[in-house]
Each structure stands twice: as structure tokens, then as C-alpha cells.
Structure 1
Amino acid sequence: MKIYFLLITIIQNIIAYEQSVRVTGRLMCHGHPAQYAELQLVSKKIIGGDAFARDVFTDPDGYFDIAGYIDPSTWSKIDARLYIWHKCYEKPYEHSDPCSQWFEIGIPPINVNGGPLAQKEWNIGEIELKDRRSGQELTSCS
């Protein structure tokens, strides 16, 4: 039993380690700041569901700063994704509450940090939301 526990501990320390991600940027809608758009940082896992989920909203100038952390007990690497929900449509008059559009951006593994606090950030720059993206969807409107 002691050998089994020791073996599990060694494997966990080799495979699993603390990881973190930080993403910053600015969202725009028809050249104006996309105020209060919702962003969620998620790490997809093969087993056990999503590892972390952090929600933030853009500020009045459209800027955001979002970070997440996964502890070593999850036994998996970060497959980080940034989800963005917004109400910016190709034509401004198409807007109809409470519908939102959303899309995801995969975060390249090179932007994943070792440790619980992200030392480097991935600045995605400015994103114009009126431009449709591959995989963009409309949320169910109720």
C-alpha cells in the first residue's frame, strides 16, 4: 500500500503541475468600445469536466484582463479557451435583446504559464465584434 501511494505521488508530481493563463485585450463594436461584454476563461478537460472558469466583463472602454489557474490535482494540461458573449451585430439595427452572440478563441499552449500566477500575458489586441467569426453562434433567446 505504501509503495502504491508513493508511486501515485511521484507520477502526479511528474505529470501534473500548477498552470495559469492570463489574457488581455479590447473589444470594439462598429469602432466604439464594446462595453460590458462577457468573457469566460475555461480549460477543457477530457475527464472530469472543465478545470477552471473565470468570468469578467469589459470595462466602459472595452478593455478586459482575465486570468485563471489550475492546480496539479486535476492531472491534466490546460486546454484554455476564451469565450466571448456580445450584442454587437453586423448591422447595428439587427440588435434584439435578450439575444447574444458568442464565439471562442483557443489560447495557444505557448501562452500557458507554469505556476499559480501567470507571469506572462497574451494580449490579443483589439477585436472588432461586428465581423463574424467561424463558429460564432447566437445564444438561445428567451
Structure 2
Amino acid sequence: MVTISLVLLLLSGTILAQNFGSNDVVVKNVLGIGSTQSVAVSGRLICNGRPAANIKLKLYENEIFFDRLIEEGRTDGNGQFRVTGSKREITTIDPKLNVYHKCNYNGLCDQKFTIHIPKDFVTSGSQASRTFDIGTLNLANNFPGQSTDCIN
């Protein structure tokens, strides 16, 4: 009887996953596999010494095939930000912050660079207990891996 119930539970998770297009998330949540982990990143962005206001920031879980969005935010009028979010995962999440800007750039698309958050800033639970502070970054600099991104 327990085996039949487990099979039905797995099948219902698979059917739900096919309907929602996210097999691993639904099965993890239905079966309670994995743990909720959180991360927070803060800092200040400037462009040529002036606050970089309204800069788009996206916090992602770095995955093998497709990164998954954890949270999105923007800098305030002073260029400051704090982005925080959580995700259920079996292994320790591998978070990264993508920064999209047009500092010293007049193209149609945005410039994008990525900051990888150290694993020791990933905390257990839905609220981050530590914050990775990137300090103040001047967007006029060229960052390793910086590219042009039209779809963000």
C-alpha cells in the first residue's frame, strides 16, 4: 500500500511538472527534497563618479543548462542596492548577480557583467543571514566577461 501511494505521488508530481514545464521544481516541492537556501548581495554602483540610478540587477542560480532567476532589483537614486532571494535545491545553490547597464555605452542593448557570490554567503532558510557586499563599483570600468545583452 505504501509503495502504491509513493508511485502515485511520483506520477502526480511528474504530471504536474509536465503541465508546468519544471519537472525538478515540482518533484522537489511535492516530495520535500532539498532545502530552502537564501542569498543576499548589496553594494553601490557608480558611473564616472556619479551614482548609477535605476540599474537592473538579476540574482540567478547558476545551472548547467539554463540559469534560474531567484530575484530581480534595481539601484536606488544613490546607486545603492540590496537584492535577496531564496530557492529550494538539493545541493548548495551557486548564486550569481548579473548587472545590466549603459554607462559610457550608447548602443541599443545593455552591457552585462556577472559577479559570482561565494558559497559561504549562501545560508539555510528563506531569509539570508549574511550579505555579500560588493562595495562600490564604477561601471565605467571593463569587467571580466563583460558582454552585450539585448534580452534581459
Whole-angstrom distance in 2 between the partners of 1:110 and 1:3:
39
Cα offset for 1:119?
1.1
Note the alpha carbon deviations across 1:99-138, whole angstroms, 9 max, x for none: 2100001100011011111011111110111010110001
Mark the CA change 1:136 to 1:64 in structure 2 (over 3 Å): closer, same or farther: same
Q: What is residue 77 of structure 2 aligned with on the other side?
A: 60
Contact 1:101 1:136 in 2 (8 A): yes
- Equivalences, count: 128
- Identity across aligned pairs (percent)? 33
Quote the Cα distance in structure 2 between the aligned partners of 1:133 and 1:83.
Answer: 12
Give the whole-Å Cα distance in 2 for the aligned partners of 1:3 and 1:105. Answer: 45
Secondary structure of the residue aligned to 1:123 is: strand
Q: Distance in 1 between matches of 2:3 and 2:35?
A: 22
The reply to whether residue 108 of structure 1 matches residue 118 of structure 2 is yes
- C-alpha separation between the residues in 2 aligned to 1:16 and 1:22? 20
Check whether the contact 1:113–1:119 (CA below 8 A) recurs between aligned residues.
yes
The letter for the 2-side match of 1:138 is T
Gaps in structure 2 of 5+ consecutive residues? 7-27
TM-score normalised by structure 1 residue count: 0.78
Equivalence for 1:43: 61
By percentage of residues, which structure has more helix? Answer: 2
Task: State the TM-score, normalizing by the size of structure 2.
Answer: 0.73
The runs of 5 or more residues in structure 1 that have no matched partner are 90-94
Map 1:87-98; keep pairs closer than 5 Å: 87-89=102-104, 95-98=105-108
**Equivalent-residue separation in structure 2 for 1:113 and 1:80 (angstroms):** 11
Contact map agreement 1:52 1:70 (CA 8 A) in 2: no
**Greater length-normalized contact order (CA 8 Å, ≥ 6 residues apart):** 1
Alignment partner of 2:86 out of 69, 76, 89: 69
